Structure 1
Amino acid sequence: MPSSTAALAHTADLASFVEASPSSFHAAAEVAARLERAGFTRLDESVSWPAPAGGRYVVVRDGAVIAWVVPRAASASTGVRIFGAHSDSPGFKLKPKPTTGKLGWLQAGVEIYGGPLLNSWLDRELRLAGRLVLDDGTSVLAATGALLRLPQLAIHLDREANDHLSLDKQSQTQPVWGLGESDSADILDELARDAGVDAARIRGYDVVTADAAAGTTFGLDDVFFASGRLDDLASVHAGVVALERAAGPQGSADDADHIAMLAVFDHEEVGSGTRSGAAGPFLSDVLERLWLSLGADREQQLRSLAASWCVSSDVGHSVHPNYADKHDPVVQPMLGSGPILKINANQRYATDAAGAAAWNAWCFAAGVTSQEFVSNNSVPCGSTIGPITATRLGIRTVDVGIPILSMHSARELAGVSDLWDLTRVAEVFFRG
């Protein structure tokens, strides 16, 4: 059926959000900026935090961001409802000595980040984006326009390319970005120019590639949305919009019986084991400072956790019409038919019966139909921040998301209605 006006408007906002978020650092900054405009107070981890009753706060740690609303009647043992997602995506990361080249071509030295579908990055215009750390220790964000491309070898020079395309991960994944010798230009100059700083001041950088093309809706009745970084900016966007709405004039977060919290982590695609990843201390640090400001002792902290929920939101696989054998023969979530509940017997997802019941109740309250996702027994199952968060905090956790095609491609495919439905459920979750 045709996409609704609300769903299309929501997807257009997501397209703008993705364009403003070409790296995890940009995504965290964009979330914080949106919430500050919505009345949230930006906090600094290095200074004392205010007493939180009735407050709305956001804090950024590198490429991660956490925001929360404390109801006016919050006590030391008030539970927390956490909507979790991640800000990074598979792709390529700039190496040291990044300006390379040969035979008159300028190239960028990159390292593969996570598990991208390498062939999907061929013949696309790419951006560079991330943070630059300067000689005085300050960090600035930088993002170029379309600058690079990984040109594919012509079919005339590889007649068997359509039968078995295989890329050497070192020699055949270094994008071109200009003409000349490697000592005639410096790719860091392009990033410094965007950031408005002198390239000679750069002492460190975390810079990745991103698809330069804008997200777009298409298909019969505009049911599809294609964009880079839907894994997992689709969930990040759903969470921030839901929190904005729950904390807005028509929302009820200020009067809820729980603390509404959005937690966006970095480095999920490479295992989450960093200071800004889900396996790191960021969430527990924020929770502890929140509890201390509420005067909670250890017993009250544990009571708060026992009354809490985490919804771990990440993309999952829609059934693929050309590869039906890769999916479970019975449980086959379909793009455009609602968000998914992710289930795995080996606990690659944290969903259990209690989590499934809670998720279905939130979907019912939002007027949204949910689908289940389970892997084919012959296909290894991925994982998410869900089991990590449940293990670190002992918090009840359920894994959910939206079904997509082309996961880990430079450009992924989602359903317009699913994006809107996930946000609607997240808002119910936050409001209670």
Structure 2
Amino acid sequence: MEHAEFNKGLLKFLDASPTPWHAVASMKSRLDAAGFQELNERDDWALESGSGYYVIRNGSSIVAFRTGKNDVSCSGIRMVGAHTDSPCLKVKPNPELRRQGFYQLGVEVYGGVLLNPWFDRDLSLAGRVTYLDDQGEVRDTLVDFRKAVAFIPSLAIHLDREANSNRTVNAQTDLPPVMMQVPEDDTTSFHDLLRQQMSDESGVKARKVLGYELSFYDANGASFVGLRDEFIASARLDNLLSCFIGLQALLSTSGDEAALLVCNDHEEVGSVSAEGAQGPFLTAVLDRWCGAGKARAIAGSMMISADNAHGIHPNYMDKHDENHGPLLNQGPVIKINHNQRYATNSRSAAVYRHISDELGLPHQSFVVRSDMGCGSTIGPLTAGNLGVTTLDIGVPQFGMHSIREMIGAEDSLTLFRVLTEFMQRKKIF
């Protein structure tokens, strides 16, 4: 089946991308292979018509674009946006804990984590390390232990008889993972462990570890699930799924029209950062690409913010509006909120519906229950910063913000097909 072949690439991407830095590195590798040129923000740019480029900021956010063959101020830009980060547990700066002979690490909760599923899982560790090399230069490298190195054990039900009815998680005291057993006189520092991992993994010889941004993650890889393999289960589907689909769409376009993919870090914590959607990254790239014609280009452009949606859970159907419960494998979901938690309007929704209908592909709509709060995406932030017409859409999923999430296997290919057509469409409006 065609979607099965497409999803095999998705599963490889998910497994290779345990952190935003790894996700961007994976995307960089695919862009390089497709002939895109990397741009450095410190350099002068000499962009050529009909060419592909990308810019990376902080190693965790990326903007990739095709310049197209026409004047961008007249043609506009077909934009797709996603985010590289996911809720997780991050290692604290001074993390070592030694208790009862166990070596543990203190962790900080990043984003709106669903904490209970993190217990009793095989956990690995990955991220970016900043270090001093033998020449006295400050450098960065990526690390990924790629095996189960930690575990957060639950307290036995015999010692907590109300665990199934009244369990709460204290993020400070309940979450430090167990990594190994050590003797009482052990003085091994976490920096020592990192230096050893850097040497073993990539041959990096660090004189000193100066800092790191490391996250625990589920050591079990992405997989097909279901009697007929109709689902995909993985960590970080929110929102590496959209990063992968957006990238594959950009790589599959003809290149005739101006098209752009932005994948921002820090969406899960509000997007306020140098590389977040509420920061200046995308605007800076567009300023240098479009120049004096930027305002005209934006007026003729459209952004599709792709971020997963809440599929209707068969065990909790009352959590959805009765007319807006998206089903897995029934198409991507147009997300609507008139209080501007989503940026969709009737015009941007119409563009997506029209393309999807032309291709004979399904689509759905989601509106949160009127008595519940609504989440948000990079869509409203990007729309507000740029003044660009924006649509919020996403593949429906279960278990959002859990350590492991689930989507329908057919929906990823459906969104890819529509985004590919959108990104190479001669006329947007």
| TM-score for the superposition, normalised by structure 1 | 0.93
CA distance in 2, matches of 1:164, 1:200: 49
CA contact (8 A) 1:326 1:376 kept: yes
How many angstroms does 1:159 deviate by? 1.6
Q: One-letter code of the match for 2:2?
A: A
1:26 equivalent to 2:13? Answer no
The one-letter code sitting in structure 2 at the alignment partner of 1:11 is N
Displacement of 1:194 in angstroms is 3.6
Match of 2:87 in 1: 90
**SS of 2:379's equivalent?**
helix
Instruction: Give the alignment's Cα RMSD to 1 decimal.
Output: 1.4
Match of 1:357 in 2: 350
Q: How far did residue 301 of structure 1 move?
A: 1.5
Matched, 1:345 2:352: no
Q: Is the 8 A contact 2:72 2:290 kept in 1?
A: no
* 1:175-232 deviations in Å (ceiling 9; x for gaps): 1111115953333444333433345421111111211111110213111110000000
Counterpart Cα distance in 2 of 1:68 and 1:406: 32
Letter in structure 1 aligned against 2:79: I
Where does residue 290 of structure 1 map in the other structure? 289
Once structures 1 and 2 are overlaid, which stretch shifts more, 36-45 or 47-56? 47-56
How much has 1:346 moved relative to structure 2? Answer: 0.8
Residue among 143, 154, 158 paired with 1:152 = 154
Paired residues for 1:152-231 under 5 Å: 152-180=154-182, 181=184, 183-196=186-199, 197-198=204-205, 200-231=207-238
Q: Which residue of 2 aligns with 1:127?
A: 124
Distance change (3 Å), C-alpha of 1:403 and 1:183 = same
Q: Matched residues in 2 for 1:385 and 1:125: separation?
A: 31
Matched, 1:106 2:99: no
Counterpart contact for 1:120–1:409, Cα < 8 Å: yes
Aligned AA (2:228): D
**Any idea what the Cα deviations from partners look like across 1:32-65, whole Å, max 9, x if unmatched?**
1111111111111111222231211111112101
Q: Aligned letter for 2:38?
A: R
Match of 1:249 in 2: none
**What is the total number of aligned residue pairs between the two structures?**
414
Which residue does 1:281 correspond to in 2? 280
Q: How does 1:13-52 map to 2 (within 5 A)?
A: 13-52=9-48
The amino acid of 1:319's aligned partner reads I
Greater Cα shift, 391-400 or 23-32: 23-32
- Structure 1 stretch displaced more, 76-85 or 194-203: 194-203
Q: Return the offset for 1:320.
A: 0.6
8 Å CA contact 1:318–1:333 kept in 2: the answer is yes
- Counterpart Cα distance in 1 of 2:73 and 2:397: 40
The structure 1 segments of at least 4 consecutive aligned residues displaced by more than 4 Å after TM superposition are: none
* Rounded Cα–Cα distance in structure 1 between residues aligned with 2:308 and 2:417: 16
Letter aligned with residue 166 of structure 2: H
* 1:77 Cα deviation from its structure 2 partner: 4.0
TM-score, length basis structure 2: 0.94
Shift in Å at residue 156 of structure 1?
1.6
Farther off after superposition, 76-85 or 304-313:
76-85
The answer (yes or no) to whether the contact 1:133–1:140 under 8 Å persists in 2 is yes
2:315 is aligned to: 322
Q: 2:250: which partner in 1?
A: 243
Structure 1 residue 428: deviation in Å?
A: 0.9
Q: Summarize the Cα distance change of 1:10–1:182 in structure 2 as closer, same or farther, 3 Å threshold.
A: farther
Query: Distance between the aligned counterparts of 2:77 and 2:348, measured in 1?
Result: 15
Note if 1:377 corresponds to 2:378.
Answer: no
Residue deviations 1:229-249 (CA, integer Å, cap 9, x gap): 000001001011111111xxx
Contact 1:99 1:182 in 2 (8 A): no
Q: Which amino acid aligns with 1:49?
A: W
Q: Name the CA distance, whole Å, in 1 between partners of 2:304 and 2:90.
A: 29
AA aligned to 1:191 is L
C-alpha separation in 1, matches of 2:194 and 2:303:
37
Q: Which runs of 5+ in 2 are unaligned?
A: none
Q: What whole-Å deviation, never above 9, does each CA across 1:14-49 have from its counterpart, x for those lacking one?
A: 111011111011111111111111111111111122
For residues 260 and 185 of structure 2, the distance between their equivalents in structure 1, rounded to whole angstroms, comes to 47
Where structure 1 has 5 or more consecutive residues not aligned to the other structure, the ranges are: 247-251
SS in 2 for 1:420: helix
Report if aligned partners of 1:77, 1:301 keep a CA contact under 8 Å in 2.
no
Q: 1:234 aligns with which of 241, 245, 259?
A: 241
